[in-house]
C-alpha cells in the first residue's frame, strides 16, 4: 500500500491556521477521576478494549461545543459514579472538562462542566473562557468547532428527524457561531409557549400578551434558524456533490414549511406566515403539547447522487460512506471559508470500513490537516497512520502515550 500523504506536507492549511487541542483535562467525568493528556496538532489515535474509556474521552471533547455532547446526555449522566452504582442513579458530583486550544487567533483555554447537584434538582452547566465565566454555553462556538461520527449515528438517515436537525445545526455552528444562540432562544420560546398552552392560561390579557411575545420570538428566531440552515446546506452542496475517492457524492435538501416559505418569498413574509400559523394552531397545540409548525419541524433529506437513491434506502455501508462524505465536505468548506478545519471525533469508524475506504479516510484527514481523534480496539487498523499521528492506549480509564 502506498504511503499516505504526510500531515505536515499538505498545502490545504498552514501551520498558523490549524485548530487543535494541545491539552485536555478531565475531572470526575464518566469513568475518569482525573486525567490529563498533552497532544500535538496531528491526528490522535486512541486504542483499547471495549469499555476502557475511549468514547468517554471523545464525549468530553464534544462538550467543548454547545449542546449535549455526542451521546445527547444530561449533565448528571456524565458525572463519575462509584463502582456498583446503578447507571440511572445520579451521583450528584460536579464534573469538569478543560482544554487548551490552539487556533489561528492564538491560544485559548476553554472549560465546561456541571455544578454539584443543588437541592432543587436543577442542572447547571458552567462555561469558562480563559478563566472567565460565561453566561451561556453558546460562547464555546466562538472558539472551537467539533464534529463527530459515532456508531449510534449509523441510523441517522433512517431514524427520526430530530437527530438530523441537530446534525445540521452542528454543521452551522462551525460556520456561524451565532446560530447556537438562535437555536437556544427559539427552543426556549417553543417550550414556554407549550407550557402556557398546556396550562390553559390564555384568557387573561397578561397571558395573551406573553403568548404573543413568545410567538413573535418563535417567528423571528425560527425563520433565522431556517435561513441559516438553508444557507449552510446550499454552500455544502457545492462541495458534497463531488465524489471523493470511494466516498459518494451527496445531495442535501431541507424540507419543511419554513423552507418552502423562504423559497417563495422574503424572510419577513415567512415570519408573518409562521406567526399567523402559530396563532391559528393554539388550541390544537395546547392539546398536543407542542407546536405543529416551526423550525423544529424541518428535516434533512440526503440522496446518493450516483445512484439517484434516497439515503434511507441505501445499504448500511453506503449510508456510512455518505455520512463520512458529508463530514469531510463540511471540513473542506470550513477550510476554504475560514482557513481552519474542525476537530473531528471519529469513534470506531475505521473498523467498519473496508481497506480501500479506510485508506481514503486517513488520506483525507491528513490532507485536511485536521486534528482528528480516532478510536478503535485494534491498533493495527491504524497502521497506515504510524509516524503521522499520535498514538495513545487506554486501559481502565488510564491514558498512556503509545508507540508511534
Q: Of residues 245 and 177, which shows the higher confidence score?
A: 177
**Of 64, 142, 147, nearest in space to 372 by CA:** 147
Cβ atoms within 10 A of the Cβ of 100, count?
16
**Of 85, 95, 74, nearest in space to 30 by CA:** 95
Q: Of residues 91 and 139, which shows the higher confidence score?
A: 139
**Cell output for 394:** 487506554
CATH of the domain at 103: 3.40.50.300
Listed range (204-218, 247-261, 294-308) with the worst mean pLDDT = 204-218
Q: Single out the residue in 338, 357, 390 at which a domain terminates.
A: 338
Confidence of residue 5 (pLDDT cuts 50, 70, 90): very low
Please state the rounded mean pLDDT for residues 291-320: 95
Please state the rounded mean pLDDT for residues 350-364: 91
Confidence of residue 121 (pLDDT cuts 50, 70, 90): low
The predicted structure's pLDDT at residue 14: 47
The predicted structure's pLDDT at residue 92: 77
Same domain, residue pair 368 and 260: no
Same domain, residue pair 333 and 189: yes
Alpha carbons 326 and 212: distance in angstroms, whole number: 39
Residues 6+ apart with CB under 8 A from 201: 207
Q: What is the mean pLDDT of the chain?
A: 89
Kindly tell me if the per-residue pLDDT of 85 is higher than 60.
Answer: no
Same domain, residue pair 324 and 353: no
Same domain, residue pair 169 and 228: yes
Alpha carbons 282 and 110: distance in angstroms, whole number: 42
Ranges of H-type helices in 129-281: 161-175, 178-199, 205-240, 257-264, 267-280
- What are φ and ψ of residue 77, in 5° steps? -70, -20
Range of the domain at 370: 1-145+340-404
The predicted structure's pLDDT at residue 351: 83
150 inside domain = no
What pTM was computed for the model?
A: 0.89
Please state the rounded mean pLDDT for residues 13-27: 80
The predicted structure's pLDDT at residue 337: 87
120 inside domain = yes
Same domain, residue pair 164 and 195: yes
Same domain, residue pair 281 and 187: yes
Confidence of residue 119 (pLDDT cuts 50, 70, 90): low
Confidence of residue 340 (pLDDT cuts 50, 70, 90): confident
**Percent of the chain scoring above 70 in pLDDT:** 90
**Percent of the chain scoring above 90 in pLDDT:** 75
Same domain, residue pair 117 and 214: no
Long-range (24+ apart) CB contacts under 8 A made by 388-391 are: 388/4, 388/6, 388/7, 388/42, 388/43, 389/7, 389/42, 389/43, 389/44, 389/45, 390/39, 390/40, 390/42, 390/43, 390/44, 390/45, 391/45, 391/47
151 inside domain = no
Same domain, residue pair 366 and 269: no
353 inside domain = yes
The predicted structure's pLDDT at residue 91: 65
Rg, C-alpha atoms of the chain: 22
Q: Single out the residue in 338, 367, 382 at which a domain terminates.
A: 338
Same domain, residue pair 349 and 326: no
Residues 6+ apart with CB under 8 A from 286: 197, 198, 200, 202
Alpha carbons 236 and 104: distance in angstroms, whole number: 23
3-state helix, strand, coil in the chain (%, to 5): 45, 20, 35
Alpha carbons 369 and 365: distance in angstroms, whole number: 6
Give, in order, the Cα–Cα distances in Å from 79 to each of 75, 95, 366: 7, 6, 34
The predicted structure's pLDDT at residue 296: 97
243 inside domain = yes
Same domain, residue pair 192 and 308: yes
Same domain, residue pair 314 and 373: no
Q: Single out the residue in 310, 338, 366 at which a domain terminates.
A: 338
Kindly tell me if the per-residue pLDDT of 86 is higher than 60.
Answer: no
The predicted structure's pLDDT at residue 118: 60
247 inside domain = yes
Q: Are 8 and 84 in contact (CB under 8 A)?
A: no
Domain count, the chain: 2
**Cell output for 147:** 464534529
Same domain, residue pair 198 and 329: yes
CATH of the domain at 256: 1.20.1050.90
Kindly tell me if the per-residue pLDDT of 8 is higher than 50.
Answer: no
Alpha carbons 99 and 372: distance in angstroms, whole number: 15
Query: What pLDDT, in 10s, does the model give residues 151-186?
Result: 999 999 999 999 999 999 999 988 898 999 999 999
Confidence of residue 199 (pLDDT cuts 50, 70, 90): confident
225 inside domain = yes
Amino acid at each position: 500500500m502506498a504511503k499516505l500523504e504526510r500531515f505536515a506536507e499538505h498545502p490545504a492549511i498552514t501551520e498558523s491556521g490549524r485548530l487543535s487541542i494541545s491539552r485536555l483535562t478531565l475531572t470526575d467525568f464518566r469513568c475518569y477521576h482525573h486525567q490529563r493528556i498533552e497532544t500535538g496538532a496531528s491526528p490522535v489515535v486512541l486504542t483499547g478494549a471495549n469499555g476502557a474509556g475511549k468514547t468517554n474521552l471523545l464525549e468530553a471533547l464534544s462538550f467543548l461545543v454547545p449542546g449535549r455532547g455526542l451521546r445527547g446526555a444530561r449533565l448528571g449522566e456524565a458525572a463519575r459514579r462509584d463502582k456498583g452504582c446503578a447507571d440511572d442513579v445520579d451521583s450528584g458530583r460536579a464534573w469538569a472538562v478543560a482544554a487548551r486550544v490552539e487556533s489561528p487567533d492564538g491560544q485559548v483555554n476553554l472549560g465546561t462542566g456541571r455544578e454539584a447537584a443543588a437541592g432543587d434538582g436543577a442542572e447547571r452547566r458552567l462555561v469558562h473562557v480563559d478563566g472567565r465565566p460565561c453566561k451561556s454555553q453558546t460562547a464555546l462556538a466562538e472558539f472551537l468547532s467539533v464534529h463527530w461520527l459515532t456508531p449510534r449515528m449509523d441510523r441517522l438517515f433512517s431514524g427520526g428527524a430530530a437527530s438530523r436537525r441537530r446534525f445540521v445545526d452542528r454543521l452551522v455552528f462551525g460556520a456561524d457561531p451565532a446560530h447556537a444562540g438562535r437555536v437556544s432562544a427559539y427552543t426556549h420560546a417553543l417550550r414556554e409557549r407549550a407550557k402556557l398552552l398546556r396550562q390553559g392560561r390564555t384568557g387573561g390579557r397578561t397571558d395573551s400578551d406573553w403568548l404573543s411575545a413568545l410567538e413573535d420570538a418563535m417567528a423571528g428566531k425560527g425563520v433565522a434558524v431556517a435561513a441559516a440552515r438553508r444557507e449552510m446546506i446550499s454552500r455544502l452542496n457545492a462541495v458534497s456533490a463531488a465524489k471523493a475517492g470511494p466516498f459518494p457524492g451527496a445531495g442535501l435538501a431541507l424540507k419543511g414549511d419554513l423552507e418552502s416559505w423562504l423559497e417563495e418569498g422574503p424572510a419577513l413574509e415567512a415570519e408573518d406566515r409562521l406567526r399567523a400559523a402559530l396563532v391559528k394552531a393554539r388550541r390544537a397545540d395546547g392539546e398536543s403539547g407542542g407546536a405543529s409548525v416551526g423550525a423544529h419541524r424541518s428535516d434533512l433529506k440526503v440522496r446518493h447522487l450516483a445512484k439517484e437513491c434516497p439515503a434511507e434506502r441505501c445499504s448500511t455501508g453506503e449510508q456510512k460512506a455518505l455520512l463520512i462524505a458529508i463530514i469531510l465536505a463540511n471540513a473542506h468548506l470550513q477550510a476554504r471559508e475560514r482557513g481552519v478545519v474542525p476537530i473531528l471525533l471519529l469513534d470506531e469508524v475505521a473498523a467498519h470500513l473496508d481497506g480501500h475506504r479506510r485508506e481514503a479516510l486517513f488520506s483525507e484527514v491528513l490532507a485536511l490537516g485536521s486534528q482528528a481523534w480516532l478510536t478503535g480496539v485494534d491498533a493495527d487498523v491504524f497502521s497506515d497512520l504510524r509516524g503521522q499521528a499520535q498514538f495513545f492506549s487506554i486501559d481502565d480509564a488510564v491514558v498512556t502515550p503509545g508507540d508511534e
